[in-house]
Amino acid sequence: MEPADVTIRTGSLADVDALERLWVAVHHRHAEAMPELGPYVSDAETWAARSALYRRLLARPGTTLLLAERDGELVAYGLAYILDPDEDWVRDTWATGARIGEIESLSVRPADRGQGLGTLLLERLERALADQGVQDLVIGLLPGNDGALRLYERRGYRPTWMYVSRFASRDG
């Protein structure tokens, strides 16, 4: 159950602009977690790319955006969607159901972290996918994001797939 003063509601395309600050906090967390992987894109660049992705995903059936609000102020959000069969990297390797859900984003305002909101939003996103018959789930995260990994492992997720990168913008 959510804390008494927090309301969770389903969002839509109309809510995307309001997510900017919380998404940029995720971007900063990524850069802090793995500074050696920089340079990172600017706040404006990350939000331009991310908001375009959210708009595309929200136009698809099966996508769920959840917003957590305290006193009418946005304190957290999560977004989950169902992978397109063409972008599904799971089913040629692991035995799963016909459709895979991805928890695309989870972000809690720094002052509101550690109170169970992230776990609650994750549970609700999982339920929204389960209600559509999707039981098999993935979440992407940076390898240095240990706190987020602990949260996901507590809910049964296991490290599954790893990319390595060699970007020309990096020194060395």
Ligand X SMILES: CC(C)(COP(=O)(O)OP(=O)(O)OC[C@H]1O[C@@H](n2cnc3c(N)ncnc32)[C@H](O)[C@@H]1OP(=O)(O)O)[C@@H](O)C(=O)NCCC(=O)NCCS
Interface contacts to ligand X, rule CB under 6 A = 25-26, 29, 106-108, 113-119, 141, 145, 147-148, 150-151
Q: Which is nearer to ligand X, 85 or 114 (CB)?
A: 114
- Host H or E run for residue 146: helix 146-154
Q: Which is nearer to ligand X, 2 or 15 (CB)?
A: 2
Query: How far is it, in rounded angstroms, from Cα 172 to Cα 166?
Result: 10
What are the structure tokens assigned to 78, written together?
A: 């999560």
- The amino acid sitting at 23 is W
Provide, rounded to whole angstroms, the least separation between the CB of residue 68 and ligand X.
Answer: 9
Provide, rounded to whole angstroms, the least separation between the CB of residue 67 and ligand X.
Answer: 14
Q: Which is nearer to ligand X, 63 or 105 (CB)?
A: 105
> Which phi and psi angles does 124 have, rounded to 5°?
-70, -40
- Host H or E run for residue 49: helix 43-58
**Minimal CB distance residue for ligand X:** 118
Provide, rounded to whole angstroms, the least separation between the CB of residue 126 and ligand X.
Answer: 13
Q: Which is nearer to ligand X, 69 or 95 (CB)?
A: 69
Q: Which is nearer to ligand X, 91 or 113 (CB)?
A: 113
Provide, rounded to whole angstroms, the least separation between the CB of residue 141 and ligand X.
Answer: 4
Q: Which residues of 96-105 are buried (b: 16+ CB within 10 A; e: fewer)?
A: eeebbbbbbb
CA 36 from centroid of its chain's CA atoms:
22
Provide, rounded to whole angstroms, the least separation between the CB of residue 60 and ligand X.
Answer: 21
> CB 77: neighbour CB atoms within 10 A?
24
Q: How far apart are the first and last CA of the chain?
A: 49
